[in-house]
Structure 1
Amino acid sequence: MSKTYSNNNTQIAKNTLLLYFRMLFTMAVSLYTSRVVLNTLGVEDFGVYNVVGGIVSMLSFFNSSMATSTQRFLNYEMGQNNSKGLRNVFVNAVNAHYLIGIITVIGLETVGLWFVYNKLNIPQGQFDAALWVFHCSVLSLFVSIISTPYNAAIIANERMGVYAYYSIIEVVLKLLIVYLLVMIPYNKLTVYGLLTLAVSILMQVLYCIYCIRNFSECRYKWSWNMQLMKKMFFFSGWMLFGCISDMLSKQGVNVLINIFFGPVFNAARAIAVQVQAAVNNFVTNFMTAVRPQIIKSYSAGEFQHMYRLVFSSSKLSFYLLFVLTTPVLIYTDFILQLWLKIVPEYCVLFTRLVLIELLISSAYVPIAQINQASGKIRNYQMAISIIFLTSFILTYALYKIGMPVYSTFILSVALATVGLFVRVIILKHDNAFPASTYLLKVMLPLIPVAGLSLVIPALIYKYTETTFLTFLLNSFIGFISSIMVIWIFGLDKVEKSFITEKISSRIHKK
């Protein structure tokens, strides 16, 4: 194993651990605060908050595409060791994001506001409060947009510890929000919107200050490079199709649920999505640590190392998620009742279906980084855009003919499966991706590994009474049995060697 490969993997492992520390701390607080907010606002107001916030995020699609573009160009210049180019990318990214922020606010305060007034299903007595939530969400989004280049700089420089430390501040402030929400004798929906905005602004300011003090390229000095701007917008332009369609498949579907079924079902979906996000954070944090290495490897021409990294991270992404989702899928109703007390209708079914979709999609997240690193994104983005748009269009058609609210979640599972093969085929065509090797060595082993890992937890659940003790015991046994099956059948020699080497070095060091 080469020294470069070992050093890069060590950096990935260190960053992943820091991000996991951040995630575990924030997840614990978020789950508690969600329970209090749901019980304080009530199911209906909780649903209103989520659907109104969803309208705002529907117009954040251009920022999402430009954020990916910014990080890609920063990582590419780092791979070339070009400090001047790095500064040039950052300054022009800031200019672009201010422009995006202004356009987004204008769009939201005109078209978005009209949609809230005329299309959403909001209880009459809470309409004024919903407007407060809308305006607070717009301002929060603007702050987030103009801060995006600074967040991208932290990830590009692989300073993952910053997220861990700053998240402690953020979750403490969220706990304060919960306390004030209960104590302040005013409309709870309005108070929650204002306090959430205040925390969002403060955190973005802290991240910007850190970047300015620690990264020389983040000290803004006016510059306008039209050629570079065109490249960045061209790259984000193709990403834009994917972001718009992804937004429609998520927030667009959320709006359809509100129109056809009402805010109570928005609350159920919001809880399911939060569980999905909490579990997905493990993979997201892992990929946040891996992504810069993939792009830098491509920039430096180290393609074999890049493929090895992509293959290993695809398997590990799935395994990490599978180990976490197994007890949640088996004990969904017990967990939600224990967590929320008030469990909205269909919440259990929604949660199980979004987790199944997440498991399918987790394995192909790493291969998308090859597409971004190469810059050949047109065909890839067009294909996944069609898949996401299909989700929105078919959901509308299903609801229009009277199908039940959960039909959109079943549809998402089916489209995630189709999307896996579409992505692999396009990457093979555009980037000479070794598709057959990926399917045989990465994807094929996942099925028997998952099946064998489920046997023991499923048997324990079937033949024991569900209590908190049996839940903990089964989760522990399932974790151990899954790790053993993954080690025996799910990892190749190089991956086992790397893990063994790291454990051995830690023991000897101590």
Structure 2
Amino acid sequence: MMQKNHKRILRNTGMLYLRMLLAMVVGLYTSRVVLDVLGVEDFGTYHVVAGFVTLLGFMLGAMTTATQRYFAFDLGQNDGSNLCSLFNTSLHIHVLMAACIALVAETVGYWFVSTQLSIPHDRLDAALMAYHLSVAAFTVSVMTVPLTAMLMANERMGLFALMSMADVMLKLVAVLLLPYLAYDKLSMYVALLLAVALITFSGYLIINRTIFPAVRLQWNWNGEHFRSMLGFTAWNTWGNLAAALSQHGNNVLLNIFFGPTVNAGRSIAAQANGALYQFVANVQAAINPQIVKQYAAGQHQQMQELVQKASKYNFFLLLTLAMPVLLYTEQLLDIWLVEPPEYAAVFLQLTIIASLIESLSRPLMTSAQATGKIRLYQSVVGGLLLFNVPLSYLALTIWKQPTLVLWISTMLEVAALAARLVILRRLTNMAVASYLKLVISRVIIVASIAGLINHFMAFQDTNGIVLTLGLTISVISTVAVLYLVGLDAREKRYLSNLAAQSFRKVFNFAGS
């Protein structure tokens, strides 16, 4: 059974990687085009306005997690016998949530954007139009959550990957059309993104209604499911609010203290880091249903082993990709953007460091969600992350250095990781000592050795072939350290057997 689950995880990860590679390439290209077409000022304005809409929708993350958890838990415990009722309950909650978000966004949010953000006066009308359209697009994305959650809980990653790739290609078409549109470019860009959101929602609805009997729109109100999911969401919302404030609240602070130019640098760093983190997110997305299903089936020991391996592999994977970027940040940004915004390089480096720490926490978050008992977990962890904005405000008031917000985020990620381990020992009887020995100590040793080796092997003058050589050496040396130091004997044996099987399949296919 474990071998079968591992193969399923690998297959699903592979499908998500195909989707991610396309999204990464298109995303990096479109960021360059949009920055060029909109200009640095409008680019920064869009991201602070759209980021504020996302901040208002902090409940979306809470409901996404809750929906996937309840679907996967029912599949693990009851073979999906309650899926129809759970799906309709989830849909009702999302309709209610979308209406509430739109109401708050168009009242309090509108006042804040129009009066408190630092937006050039001659671009205020365009920024407000972009804000209204962003609210509409976000509302559509809220309604899409139950549909994507059904695919993920059933581990139909292939269909999810195909729909995601279609979404990416539609956004690429929107960006390519942008230079040829006569109307205000900022407003038209967000209008095109709204059209893409509507098309994507329709596609998900058609696919789900075709392949899942549970996806039938009914008004069969189930009070027990509604109260359970809403209660779970209420506590989950606290954690997601803290995370949203951590990410987008600091973006607002940077706008207030330094203006949209610094926002542009922060946005570029977030996009580049997001492209790297997608590699980890895809592995985690493939593992999440298995963690929840194993807990639901009472296989707690197997779940803890999977959580430990996922934490370590998340970190190793991100470290392999991040190391060359950390070494050659400015050179890579110059190639990507030609003229990167101010602070983009240092923002990217600090964001990657925080993401490395967060990558360890992702499987821990899923195991906490699997229990359904998240009151203590979200109270403590959410409370820690919520300190990000006031601490950042205080630091910016005293020292006026924009990089301080990311140093504070990194320190709070470390504190949150420690809190998660302590709480999970109570929720799931997690062997914290084993986690520290097999995961934390191992990743610290690997990161230290790989970092020193790469530091001494880095080229000082890099251009063209020299930069390519430097990036290649960095990846190879990091992988070598991971294999020799980061993996135990059983993991090395499994990886060697998997590689041998893959080579045999390729050789047999080529020879046939």
- Normalised-by-shorter TM-score class: over 0.9
CA contact under 8 A between 2:292 and 2:370: conserved in structure 1?
A: yes
Out of 25, 28, 38, the position equivalent to 1:28 is 25
The correspondence for 2:474, drawn from 478, 492, 496, is 478
Indicate the residue corresponding to 1:146 in structure 2.
Answer: 143
Q: How far is the alpha carbon of 1:221 from its aligned partner?
A: 1.8
Q: What is residue 189 of structure 1 aligned with on the other side? A: 186
Q: Secondary structure at the match of 1:483?
A: helix
1:488 corresponds, among 464, 484, 487, to 484
Partner of 2:49: 52
Cα deviations by residue, 1:142-192 (Å, 9 ceiling, x for unpaired): 111111100100100111112332233223222222221111122111111
**8 Å Cα contact 1:37/1:178 also seen in 2:** yes
Cα shift at 1:500: 2.6
Tell me which moved more, 497-506 or 100-109. 497-506
Q: For residues 319-371 of structure 1, what are the alpha-carbon distances to aligned partners after superposition, in whole Å with 9 as ceiling and x for unaligned?
A: 00000000111111001111011211111111110011111111121111111
Once the two structures are TM-superposed, the CA of residue 404 in structure 1 deviates from its matched residue by 1.1
Q: 68, 73, 76: which is aligned to 1:76?
A: 73
Structure 1 pair 112–215 and aligned structure 2 pair: CA distance change class (3 A): same
Corresponding position: 1:119 with 2:116: yes
Is 1:428 aligned with 2:428? no
In 2: Cα distance, 1:337 partner to 1:487 partner: 32
- Structure 1 stretches lacking a partner, 5+ long: none
Contact 1:43 / 1:264 at 8 angstroms: preserved in 2? Answer: yes
TM-score, L = length of structure 2: 0.96
Please identify, of 493-502 and 53-62, the stretch whose mean Cα deviation from structure 2 is larger: 493-502
CA–CA distance in structure 1, aligned partners of residues 489 and 304 of structure 2: 16
3-state SS in 2 of match to 1:216 = coil
Q: What residue is the counterpart of 2:386 in the other structure?
A: 389
- TM-score, normalisation: structure 1: 0.97
Question: How far, CA to CA, are the matches of 1:304 and 1:493 in structure 2?
Answer: 21
Supply the AA of the counterpart residue of 1:458.
H
Q: Which range is displaced more, 170-179 or 189-198?
A: 170-179
The superposition leaves residues 281-321 of structure 1 with CA deviations (integer Å, 9 ceiling, x where unpaired) of 01101000000001001111111211111111111000000
Pairwise CA RMSD: 1.4
1:403 aligns with 2:372: no
Does the alignment pair 1:329 with 2:326? yes
Unaligned runs of 5+ in 2: none
Q: Secondary structure in 1 aligned to 2:214?
A: helix
Aligned partner of residue 361 in structure 2, secondary structure: coil
- SS in structure 2 at match of 1:301: coil
For residues 287-326 of structure 1, the aligned pairs below 5 Å read: 287-326=284-323
Q: Distance in 2 between matches of 1:503 and 1:217?
A: 39
Using the alignment, how far apart are the partners of 2:402 and 2:481 within structure 1?
37
Alpha-carbon shift at residue 402 of structure 1 (Å): 4.2
Q: What residue is the counterpart of 1:67 in the other structure?
A: 64
Contact 1:39 1:342 in 2 (8 A): no
In 2, Cα distance between the equivalents of 1:449 and 1:196? 41
Distance 2:172 2:470 in 1: 31
AA aligned opposite 2:12: N
Percent identical: 39
Give the 3 Å change call, closer, same or farther, for CA 507–460 of structure 1 in structure 2: closer
Question: Hey, what's the Cα distance between the residues in 2 that align with 1:83 and 1:269?
Answer: 43
Letter in 1 for 2:279: F
Residue of 202, 224, 235 corresponding to 1:238: 235
Q: How far did 1:508 drift?
A: 4.1
1:457–1:474 Cα contact (<8 Å) kept: no
Q: Matches of 2:195 and 2:384 in 1, distance apart?
A: 37
**TM-aligned CA deviation for residue 458 of structure 1:** 2.1
Count of aligned residue pairs for this structure pair: 506
